Amino acid sequence: MTVAAVITAAGSGTRLGAHSPDGTAPKVPVPKALVPLEGRALVAWAASRIADVAERIVVTAPPLAVDAVRSALVEAGVDALVVPGGDTRQASVAAGLRALMLDPDDIVLIHDAARAFQPTEVMAATIDAVHAGADGAIPVLPVVDTLIGAPGPDGVIGDPVDREGLRAVQTPQTFRARVALDAHRVAEAHGTPPATDDATLARALGHRIVAVDGHEWGFKVTRPSDLPLARHIAQSLSG
């Protein structure tokens, strides 16, 4: 039984809008995974933290950036296999799981590179929960905003939603390997619209997924306004 990890880093990062440095021509978009923070690519921050809890790591990269992601990981001293991701997060996770060649009794963490600063204590808590008998475990946080139904075409807002009964979901999502493999096999076979996380797929098959406390540093680096906080955390970890 080993603990292994898939890090999804194959997103384009269009919402982050990062580009090659001004003055270089042509000005090309930089995949989110390669955005540098304190001299280290986002994906390398994610991988170096997960290396504290996982013995084997597969990273899924944008197909045109496999070599660049590999170099970023080597530069950061992280040992990981880099494979091309798919068109959706779900397809990228499936590619990563295949590349890991898991034993059914292994434990697998599925982590978004974009949540590069999730503390290892949270990762360890998800692993402990699976060791304790859960089929899977995910970090969650209470929802802080007031929630409502989306406005209609007339701009009139919908019904309020009780936030007390809701949680925001983070990664890593950690499973007994047979559960993750089964969930992705069934999802692929049914061809349903891709899920944005893995616990949804496992839960749909009746697996028991438990929650552990997430952490605000596990936020998903998504928009340009997320970068100052990401930089601040990277600085405090480097210093």
- Would you tell me which residues interact with ligand C5P (CB under 6 A)? 8-11, 32-33, 60, 85-89, 92, 112-114, 196, 220, 222
Please, what is the minimum distance in Å from the beta carbon of residue 35 to ligand C5P? 11
- Using CB positions, name the residue nearest to ligand C5P: 11
By three-state DSSP, how is residue 59 classified?
strand
Token pair for residue 163?
């936030």
Would you say 92 or 118 has its CB closer to ligand C5P?
92
Would you say 131 or 169 has its CB closer to ligand C5P?
169
Please, what is the minimum distance in Å from the beta carbon of residue 172 to ligand C5P? 11
The type of residue at 98 is R
Would you say 71 or 222 has its CB closer to ligand C5P?
222
Please, what is the minimum distance in Å from the beta carbon of residue 154 to ligand C5P? 30
Please, what is the minimum distance in Å from the beta carbon of residue 61 to ligand C5P? 8
Q: Is the dihedral of CA 215, 200, 49, 62 positive or negative?
A: negative
Q: How far apart are CA 97 and CA 229, in angstroms?
A: 31
Q: How far apart are CA 23 and CA 149, in angstroms?
A: 45
Annotate 130-184 with DSSP letters as a single string: HHTT-SEEEEEEE--S-EEPPP-TT-----EE-GGG-EEE-S-EEEEHHHHHHHH
Would you say 11 or 136 has its CB closer to ligand C5P?
11
